[in-house]
Amino acid sequence: MAGQAHYTSAPPSAAGRHGGFRFTAVSPAARPALGVLRPLTGYTPPPGAVQPAEYPLAFTYDRPDDDTAVLTRTRFTGRDYTGRLGNHFCHALCAGPGELAGLRPVELWDTPQWAPSPAPDDGHALPDLAELVPGSAVGPDRVRRLLDATGEAGVRLLERLLTVALRALAGEGTGATLVSADPERVVDWIAAVSYTFPAGLTARLTFTTYTARPEDDHRHLTGTRPETGEWAPAPVFDLDRPREDGGPEPCATARFLAGAWGSGRLDVVDAVADLWDAAPDEGAGAGVRRLRAACALLAPDGTAGDLVQATSAPSGLVGFVRAVAELRPQAAGVPAERVRDAAERHLATLAAPLGDVRAALAPLPEPYRGAVLAGLLTALEAAAESRAEVLDAQACAFLASLADGAPGGVQDALAEAPGTALHVLRRAPEEPRRAGLRILRLYRRGLWEETETYEALRDLMRAEEPEPERERGPRLPWRRGSTRERE
């Protein structure tokens, strides 16, 4: 059950003995949350506002904690019971995340459950809401019409908005300020971000369509008017004049998702959501990693090579594996080939030692563990200059042991990466004879050609040869009376 509460300036009554701003009507489910709701009920008019149209409606979604979702709709109502100008009415809905299942919060912008005016202050409780009912004004079609109207500039703006929202959700940066004289325009772009992300991640995306103090707001997307937008912290987006430039450089995930909207490929957006939904919700940070990984797995080519961002883990391999494991690719039916290609794209820019590769891959089941290894070897084969930095002795010892395994899978990957395989076999902490036997084993299994095998063995032996002794100077002639002469 979702709770609801009304907040406004009201005269004293039997239910509220003190006049002024207070909760005038509360449902049973909302009563325990009044301390959480109170800070979310305020409203500051825009400076210089005179006409009713200059007082924008403030529609806000907040997550005070992981177990509470709050939606508020606040509008300016003019004078209060004392005749003082400055009253407003806030209708607040309080729910657990379960009540929002299947909904995007922005869909409640025009729900019929919003009260047009405060309930009479007669001491009776408001009813709890059995379910939250979406309105009819916000949906994917609204986003489609928005991008059709704004064209290429709109797609570029969406890229930058998505970039900022992802960073803010992951705790990597601040949110975005959306500036427009029309609150409906702010709703347009909040809807665009909301329908691009999977519903479960959108449930973590906080926003408000209007505040007069954007510099003090903590939400991921903050709407304000032009007269207050000049005080807003960067990044700031002027929605009334969308531009193709400005703001942060779009990340690859944002480019991929905005590009799907731009090309009309909503099936791609749905496929990303299906992958994301295959794993349980474990917080906004994990959700962003999973979204990046889902996009990486669906990207058709190398244009999205940096879709999976490195995490705080000691290497990009660990971060990539963690993100893919959270997607549960087996349950989602992801082909191993997609994981291999995504791993190759992401790991092509590795710069830190891999360390314990076996432990890094442990979260993944087969065949995905082998797919990531194959992608890693392919990436290293194309980046010979980084092998020495990435492949430390521990990594080489594990990768060298793969040459002793059964043919197929990673064995084939070793065959297709002879330069990397040789580097691994030479640096593995063991005697050169063992490395030579592994090279011959690859040859006998038909994985290396004669030329490759010969060159590998030759290079291996050269690497083990001792340095030649420095040449000695000319021998001096024997002197008379020397030991040899006396003999």
Question: Measured between alpha carbons, how far is residue 36 from residues 39, 40, 61, 304 in Å?
Answer: 7, 8, 13, 41
Domain borders along the chain are 3-45+54-110, 310-464
pLDDT confidence band for 179 (50 / 70 / 90): very high
If you average pLDDT over residues 163-189, what whole number do you get? 94
Q: How far apart are CA 17 and CA 20, in angstroms?
A: 10
DSSP class of residue 384 equals: G
The pLDDT of residue 272 is above 90: no
If you average pLDDT over residues 49-70, what whole number do you get? 90
Q: What are phi and psi of 332, to 5 degrees?
A: -85, -5
pLDDT confidence band for 244 (50 / 70 / 90): low
Decide the pairing of beta strands 58-65 and 68-79: antiparallel
- Per-residue tokens: 236: 């700031």
Query: Percent helix, strand, coil in the chain (nearest 5)?
Result: 50, 15, 40
Which one is predicted more confidently, 400 or 447? 400
Q: What are phi and psi of 225, to 5 degrees?
A: -90, 165
The pLDDT of residue 163 is 96
The pLDDT of residue 430 is 66
Question: 411 Cβ partners below 8 Å, 6+ apart?
Answer: 402, 403, 405, 442, 445, 447
The gap from C-alpha 456 to its chain's centroid, in whole angstroms, comes to: 43
The pLDDT of residue 38 is 94
pLDDT confidence band for 76 (50 / 70 / 90): very high
What is the total residue count of the chain? 487
Of 40, 26, 49, the closest CA to residue 70 belongs to 40
DSSP class of residue 477 equals: P
Q: How far apart are CA 374 and CA 378, in angstroms?
A: 6
The pLDDT of residue 482 is 41
Question: Measured between alpha carbons, how far is residue 101 from residues 105, 143, 201 in Å?
Answer: 10, 21, 11
For the chain, give the mean pLDDT: 83
Least confident of 84-88, 361-365, 422-426: 422-426
Q: How far apart are CA 173 and CA 166, in angstroms?
A: 9
The pLDDT of residue 200 is above 60: yes
Least confident of 205-214, 392-401, 423-432: 423-432
The pLDDT of residue 306 is 45
If you average pLDDT over residues 462-478, what whole number do you get? 53
pLDDT confidence band for 473 (50 / 70 / 90): low
DSSP per residue, 249-263: PPPHHHHHHHHHHHT
Question: 220 Cβ partners below 8 Å, 6+ apart?
Answer: 165, 168, 169, 175, 176, 205, 206, 207
- Per-residue tokens: 295: 């996009």
The pLDDT of residue 303 is above 50: no
Residue pair 269/260 in contact by the 8 Å Cβ criterion = yes
pLDDT confidence band for 432 (50 / 70 / 90): low
The per-residue pLDDT for range 6-38, each reduced to its tens digit, is 999 988 887 667 788 999 999 999 999 999 999
Q: What is the pTM of this model?
A: 0.72
Q: How far apart are CA 323 and CA 458, in angstroms?
A: 41
In 52-85, which positions are buried (b, 16+ CB within 10 angstroms) versus exposed (e)?
Answer: eeebbbbbbbbbbeeeebbbbbbbbbeebeeeee
